[in-house]
């Protein structure tokens, strides 16, 4: 039976300002109602499979667990990368974990990225099913997307002879080629011999590790060392960070697929997109009669072939053409659709300026809920805090700020120094600087409250944690 491996560690910088470092595109609802992670796990319903293994980084672990829980989707573990090392080391960890959990089996790993769109899920499942025999015959299967137009943003796979060991459209890989210029891309599409490199794979865990050891032994050895004694904490699997740090960074394509003699390609035509930027999202989205995509409260006159996203407030537009407009609570992007690949340079500038907008939204997700920074000034900050039923913030204190809490709805269980008590709607408490405190929602509905901070320093790093049910380190 298939063991899906969902890689959920990307940063999605080309979709800023919706995608941020701490809440990237795989956790957003960009196409349909589900988030991209939820949609990726959900499209497996047409295949016989085990609960998927998820790979992500430490910062995103609670978001992954919560999104799967909200969608009613099970998993077989959330494997945490101590640092990003690209896809080859990540998949080595996954393969080693799969063999450790299934010592009497050699699972077929179906490798998926968490941030792709697949419109035709039946065609996706059919292609995967067709590839199973090849994977069982010790081949490393990659899925090539049948191109419907020349695309310069994807790598390509040239197919060779039809594979003799399996029925159906399965071909030896002749070569992998880099992203081409437009003229070359047109020639590829016209030849009928090339497909887009999807980054979707199917292979036995042992076969992948054997080929990795052969062609990229440094990665293999570092990952084996990192997986000697993994620790499990409820949903999460942690590895030896120091051992993993010794692994080189490399993609599965460079580390294995371009070197192995066991690579085959299965054509897949399923309405696939990696949604690598705003123009790609415009292409896969449903459009009006003028080619526009509007999301949110948009009032438009006479625009054409544009994408306009309005978060919470009205966006009004007149006469735009081939334009991207994305308005979030704390940022606005306006770009020519032909230049949206340059958004990554914009993000680099934000990083260099140490702007918070590159890290997170005004709404900041936490394992216990979220907060929205409504207003801020020289010596004050106002937050709207939402605590999930049964959740609790850490027992903590601050050196530089005092806080007022005012309950808007729900019931709060408050620890304020030596006292623990309940607060209900329209009741409040004051927490002086240096006082140990905690906040919990003992009820069955979300707790909403307003927090007013005042002091000389209001940064999130002014937190000393004494107890935390989510395993977060103190300042």
Task: Choose one of 287, 322, 347: the last residue of a domain.
Answer: 347
Q: Is it the case that residue 475 has pLDDT exceeding 50?
A: no
- State both tokens at 138: 């010790």
Q: Domain with 99 in it: what CATH number?
A: 3.90.550.10
Domains identified in the chain, total number: 3
Helix or strand or coil: residue 37? helix
Q: What percent of the chain has pLDDT above 90?
A: 91
pLDDT (tens digit per residue) in 48-65: 999 999 999 999 999 999
**Is 355 inside a domain boundary?**
no
- State both tokens at 144: 């090539």
**Is 80 inside a domain boundary?**
yes
**Is 472 inside a domain boundary?**
no
CB 333 within 8 A of CB 15: no
Shortest CA distance to 37 belongs to which of 275, 366, 293?
275
Task: Choose one of 240, 255, 273: the last residue of a domain.
Answer: 273
Q: Same domain for 126 and 217?
A: yes
Confidence tier at 164 by pLDDT (50, 70, 90): confident
Q: Same domain for 262 and 293?
A: no
Q: Is it the case that residue 167 has pLDDT exceeding 80?
A: no
Shortest CA distance to 331 belongs to which of 298, 361, 365, 300?
361
Q: Same domain for 197 and 302?
A: no
Q: Same domain for 254 and 394?
A: no
Q: Domain with 414 in it: what CATH number?
A: 2.60.120.10
**Is 213 inside a domain boundary?**
yes
Which strand ranges, in their side-by-side order, compose the sheet holding 428-431?
363-366, 369-376, 380-387, 447-455, 401-409, 428-431
Q: Same domain for 287 and 262?
A: no
Residues 215-244 have a mean pLDDT of 95
**Is 65 inside a domain boundary?**
yes
Contacts of 53 (CB under 8 A, 6+ apart): 3, 4, 5, 6, 75, 76, 77, 79, 94, 97, 98
Domain that includes residue 297, residue range: 278-347
- State both tokens at 78: 């959330």
Confidence tier at 4 by pLDDT (50, 70, 90): very high
Q: Same domain for 254 and 298?
A: no
Asked whether the CA dihedral 355, 357, 359, 363 is positive or negative, the reply is positive
Q: Same domain for 206 and 71?
A: yes
Q: Same domain for 162 and 188?
A: yes
Q: Same domain for 188 and 290?
A: no
Q: Is it the case that residue 234 has pLDDT exceeding 90?
A: no
Q: Same domain for 37 and 78?
A: yes
Residues 76-87 have a mean pLDDT of 95
- State both tokens at 81: 């990368």
Residues 337-354 have a mean pLDDT of 94
Distance CA(256)–CA(164), nearest Å, equals 22
Q: Same domain for 312 and 237?
A: no
Q: Is it the case that residue 473 has pLDDT exceeding 70?
A: no
Q: Same domain for 36 and 175?
A: yes
Contacts of 257 (CB under 8 A, 6+ apart): 140, 142, 173, 176, 201, 263
- State both tokens at 141: 């299967």
**Is 323 inside a domain boundary?**
yes
Q: Is it the case that residue 400 has pLDDT exceeding 90?
A: yes
pLDDT (tens digit per residue) in 7-23: 999 888 999 999 999 99
Task: Choose one of 218, 240, 273: the last residue of a domain.
Answer: 273
Distance CA(249)–CA(271), nearest Å, equals 30
**Is 313 inside a domain boundary?**
yes
- pTM for this model (two decimals): 0.91
**Is 393 inside a domain boundary?**
yes
pLDDT (tens digit per residue) in 410-465: 999 999 999 999 999 999 999 999 999 999 999 999 999 999 999 999 998 899 99
pLDDT (tens digit per residue) in 107-158: 999 999 999 999 999 999 999 999 999 999 999 999 999 999 999 989 999 9
């Amino acid at each position: 039976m298939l063991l899906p491996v969902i890689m959920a560690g990307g940063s999605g910088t080309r979709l800023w300002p919706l995608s941020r470092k701490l809440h990237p595109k795989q956790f957003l609802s960009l196409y349909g109602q589900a988030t991209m992670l939820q949609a990726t796990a959900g499209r497996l319903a047409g295949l016989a499979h085990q609960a998927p293994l998820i790979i992500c980084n430490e910062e995103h672990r609670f978001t992954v667990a919560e999104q799967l829980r909200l969608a009613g989707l099970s998993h077989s573990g959330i494997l945490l990368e101590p640092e990003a090392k690209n896809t080859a080391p990540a998949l080595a960890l996954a393969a080693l974990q799969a063999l450790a959990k299934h010592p009497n089996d050699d699972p077929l790993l179906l490798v998926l990225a968490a941030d792709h769109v697949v419109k035709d899920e039946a065609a996706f499942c059919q292609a995967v099913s067709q590839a199973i025999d090849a994977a069982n015959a010790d081949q490393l299967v990659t899925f090539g997307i049948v191109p419907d137009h020349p695309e310069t943003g994807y790598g390509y796979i040239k197919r060779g002879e039809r594979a003799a060991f399996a029925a159906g459209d399965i071909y030896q890989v002749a070569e992998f080629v880099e992203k081409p210029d437009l003229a070359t891309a047109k020639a590829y599409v016209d030849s009928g011999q090339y497909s887009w490199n999807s980054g979707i794979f199917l292979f036995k865990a042992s076969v992948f590790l054997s080929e990795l050891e052969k062609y990229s032994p440094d990665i293999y050895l570092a990952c084996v060392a990192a997986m000697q004694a993994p620790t499990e904490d409820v949903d999460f699997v942690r590895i030896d960070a120091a051992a993993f740090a010794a692994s080189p960074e490399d993609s599965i394509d460079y580390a294995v697929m371009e070197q192995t003699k066991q690579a085959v390609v299965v054509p897949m035509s399923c309405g696939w997109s990696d949604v690598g930027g705003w123009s790609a999202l415009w292409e896969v989205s449903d459009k009006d009669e003028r080619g526009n995509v509007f999301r949110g409260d948009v009032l438009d006159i006479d625009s054409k072939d544009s994408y306009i996203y309005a978060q919470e407030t009205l966006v009004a537009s007149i006469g735009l053409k081939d334009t991207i407009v994305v308005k979030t609570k704390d940022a606005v992007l306006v770009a020519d659709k032909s230049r949206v690949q340059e958004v990554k340079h914009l993000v680099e500038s934000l990083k260099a300026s140490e702007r918070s907008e590159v890290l997170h939204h005004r709404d900041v997700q936490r394992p216990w809920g979220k907060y929205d920074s409504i207003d801020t000034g020289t010596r004050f900050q106002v937050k709207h805090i939402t605590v999930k039923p049964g959740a609790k913030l850490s027992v903590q204190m601050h050196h530089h700020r005092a806080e007022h809490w005012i309950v808007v709805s729900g019931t709060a269980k408050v620890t304020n120094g030596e006292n623990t008590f309940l607060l209900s709607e329209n009741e409040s408490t004051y927490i002086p600087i240096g006082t140990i405190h905690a906040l919990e929602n003992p009820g069955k509905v979300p707790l909403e409250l307003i927090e007013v901070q005042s002091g000389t320093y209001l940064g999130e790093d002014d937190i000393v944690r004494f107890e935390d049910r989510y395993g977060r380190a103190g300042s």
